[in-house]
């Protein structure tokens, strides 16, 4: 099951540097001029989870396979992007294909790195990007409403629902608020997602600070945190410069380097975990002598649908799942110990999978 997070921001805020470190590649060209990223670079990143290593050790698994997220490095947006300024609408469409947005904001001072507007103001940058996404959504809504007129007059139920939702989004946008503030009923949830409006995407603000400020943040990142709190959004403080250096080190060297900087973990790990939480995702595990593997599912997923992430046949022929909570698996020394202690549960089609569950599915082929 693929989840995509778009990395967006103004030119020269450190997006491509962050992407390079995030994916441990040099696929995204990081250069000191606007629009150095022309095509969106895509990288898959393992979601760090110490539980998986623990489970593999207990089960003697030969292979460890973490779950993954996809990050998309999208070109720097500028004021007027919704009207084609900079590299314009091409990149707004790249955002539309993502599940969430990691909005990188420049919170560092460096005279050697130019800013497209000649100043460092992350809150103003955030407002610029949000405005462009809102303007793009308004233009898209107006066009779609015109195309729906004939179907609505004909009584097409789907068109009537789309028109109502589009008008609710339009009202929010015209009042200066993103479409994500619209409260959507469960009956409308699927149709709402199908609209693919840019400002319905959940947003994570990534404050890119200088190396000496990575552990504590600075006045600029504090301003961003205040803004995010007012929106009910999350923030992560990170130094793209540090992350780029860490990406070149082995695990032991990276841990020592982080310790010297007063950091418990890499900023990238915090970014990935924050993105995971932002999208409402959780992990379950399958464990055996051959492999220990993590699987990504949305919170609230039922057992048959969780099985379907492995293979469609598992969902179609689902019978039951043998379930062990992570803590029980670890405390009791694995599957056999959990069975002997009565901690393996048999769950049916209505079971809502919990984060950390160790599952074995039984199904009809």
Backbone angles phi, psi at 324, to 5 degrees: -130, 130
15 is in an annotated binding site: yes
Q: 119: alpha, beta or left, given left = phi > 0 and alpha = psi -120 to 50?
A: beta
**Two tokens at 13?**
């805020």
Q: How do beta strands 4-8 and 100-106 pair?
A: parallel
Q: What is the distance between the alpha carbons of residues 55 and 330, in angstroms, rounded to a whole number?
A: 7
13 is in an annotated binding site: yes
DSSP 8-state class, residue 352: B
**Two tokens at 85?**
């300024």
17 is in an annotated binding site: yes
54 is in an annotated binding site: no
DSSP output for 190-258: HHHHHT--GGGS-EEEEEE--GGGTTT--HHHHHHHHHHHHHT-EEEEE-HHHHHHHTTS-HHHHHHHH
Helices (H) and strands (E) in the chain, counts: 14, 12
50 is in an annotated binding site: no
16 is in an annotated binding site: yes
Cβ within 8 Å of residue 325, ≥6 positions away? 343, 354, 356, 357, 358
Nearest of 70, 71, 75 to residue 8 by alpha carbon = 75
Binding residues: 12-17
Which residue ranges make up the annotated binding site for ATP?
A: 12-17
């Amino acid at each position: 099951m693929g989840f995509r997070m778009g990395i967006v921001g103004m030119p020269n805020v450190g997006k491509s540097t962050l992407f390079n470190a995030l994916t441990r590649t040099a696929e995204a060209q990081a250069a000191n001029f606007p629009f150095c990223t022309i095509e969106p670079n895509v990288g898959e990143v393992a979601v760090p989870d110490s539980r998986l290593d623990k489970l593999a050790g207990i089960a003697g698994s030969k292979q460890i396979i973490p779950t993954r997220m996809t990050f998309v490095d999208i070109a720097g947006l500028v004021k007027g992007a919704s009207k084609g300024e900079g590299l314009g609408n091409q990149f707004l469409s790249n955002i539309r294909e993502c599940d969430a947005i990691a909005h990188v904001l420049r919170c560092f001072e460096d005279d050697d790195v130019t800013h497209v507007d000649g100043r460092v103001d992350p809150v103003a940058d955030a407002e610029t990007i949000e405005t462009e996404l809102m303007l793009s959504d308004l233009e898209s809504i107006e066009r779609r409403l015109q195309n729906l007129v004939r179907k609505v007059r004909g009584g097409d139920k789907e068109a009537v629902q789309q028109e109502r939702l589009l008008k609710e989004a339009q009202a929010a946008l015209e009042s200066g608020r993103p479409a994500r503030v619209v409260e959507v009923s469960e009956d409308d949830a699927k149709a709402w997602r199908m609209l693919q409006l840019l400002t319905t995407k959940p947003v994570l603000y990534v404050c890119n600070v200088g190396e000496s400020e990575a552990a504590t943040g600075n006045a600029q990142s504090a301003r961003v945190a205040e803004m995010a709190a007012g929106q009910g959004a999350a923030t992560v403080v990170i130094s793209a410069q540090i992350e780029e250096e860490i990406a070149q080190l082995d695990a032991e060297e990276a841990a020592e380097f982080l310790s010297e900087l007063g950091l418990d973990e890499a900023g990238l790990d915090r970014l990935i975990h924050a993105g995971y939480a932002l999208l409402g995702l959780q992990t379950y595990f399958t464990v055996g002598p051959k492999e220990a593997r993590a699987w990504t599912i949305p919170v609230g997923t039922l057992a048959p649908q969780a099985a379907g992430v492995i293979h469609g046949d598992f969902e179609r022929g689902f019978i039951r799942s043998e379930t062990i909570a992570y803590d029980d698996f670890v405390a009791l020394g694995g599957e056999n110990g959990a069975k002997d202690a009565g901690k393996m549960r048999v769950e049916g089609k209505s079971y809502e999978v919990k984060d950390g569950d160790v599952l074995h599915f039984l199904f009809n082929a």
